[in-house]
Each structure stands twice: as C-alpha cells, then as structure tokens.
Amino acid sequence: MTPRRDPAGPVFAALADPTRRELVQRLADDGEATATELSAELPMTRQAVSKHLALLEEAGLVAATRAGREVRYRLNAPPLAHAMAWMAQVGGRWDERLAALGRHVERTRRQARTTRSR
C-alpha cells in the first residue's frame, strides 16, 4: 500500500506543543508580530520563540516576511483548514456510528418492552 500525503500531519505535530498553540492564538488575535514582540508576552527568550516559529513555518502554519532586520510572522490559515476538514470527516463517521448505536439501543428497548407486555 502506498502511503497518502497527509497535509494535516505536520499541522497536528506542530500544534501538539502548547507553546506553539499559544503562538498561533496570538498571531490569530494580533494579525502579525515579530519573535521579539511575541517573546515579550511569554515566559521564554526570543530565541526559543524563534525556534517554535520556525517549526510552525515548516508546518506551513505561519509565513515570515523580512522587512530590513525585522522578521514579521503571520498566521497562514489553509493548513488549519486541512486539519479541520480531517477532524470533521472523522467526527462525522463517529456521529454516524453513534446514531446507529442509538437506533439499535432504542430498537432493543422497544423489543424488550413488547416481549414483557405479552
């Protein structure tokens, strides 16, 4: 079997870390920021934030733009859409299974009531 390309995989891997999720949230709220601006709001160095941003960029979640000596980061939403679509697909399957289970339980209850009333 040939493995399929998994566009959501790098997104989930990058978002597995709470610091990276916090950076994504801040960029979603603020629009864009530098590593220095982001590190001022977090209990870590600018270098640590830069490493996290590099991993987010590698996953396609952020885009970096250089302006002179400054690098500004902004959220890149399409990879998030891939991950959300995957979760919706899997969640839909579970919804279908749970609904089928609910129907089965209800049929079983009705049959049990019918059998008892005879």
CA nearest neighbour of 17 among 67, 68, 51, 65: 51
Q: Give the pLDDT confidence score for residue 4 in this predicted structure.
A: 62
pLDDT at 82 exceeding the cut of 90? no
Q: Give the pLDDT confidence score for residue 110 in this predicted structure.
A: 83
Domains for the chain: give ranges and CATH numbers: 9-77 (1.10.10.10)
Which residues face 32 on adjacent strands?
A: 74
Written as one letter, the residue type at 50 is: S
Q: Give the pLDDT confidence score for residue 101 in this predicted structure.
A: 79
- The string of DSSP letters for 26-66 reads HHHHHSEEEHHHHHHTTTS-HHHHHHHHHHHHHTTSEEEEE
Q: Classify residue 28 by its DSSP letter.
A: H
pLDDT tens-digit series, residues 8-45: 889 999 999 999 999 999 999 999 999 999 999 899 99
pLDDT at 108 exceeding the cut of 90? no
Q: Give the pLDDT confidence score for residue 95 in this predicted structure.
A: 67
Q: Give the pLDDT confidence score for residue 2 in this predicted structure.
A: 45
Report how far apart the first and last C-alpha atoms of the chain are (Å, whole number). 55
Q: Give the pLDDT confidence score for residue 27 in this predicted structure.
A: 96
52 band by pLDDT with thresholds 50, 70 and 90 = very high
The whole model's pTM is what?
0.71
Q: How far apart are CA 84 and CA 94, in angstroms?
A: 15
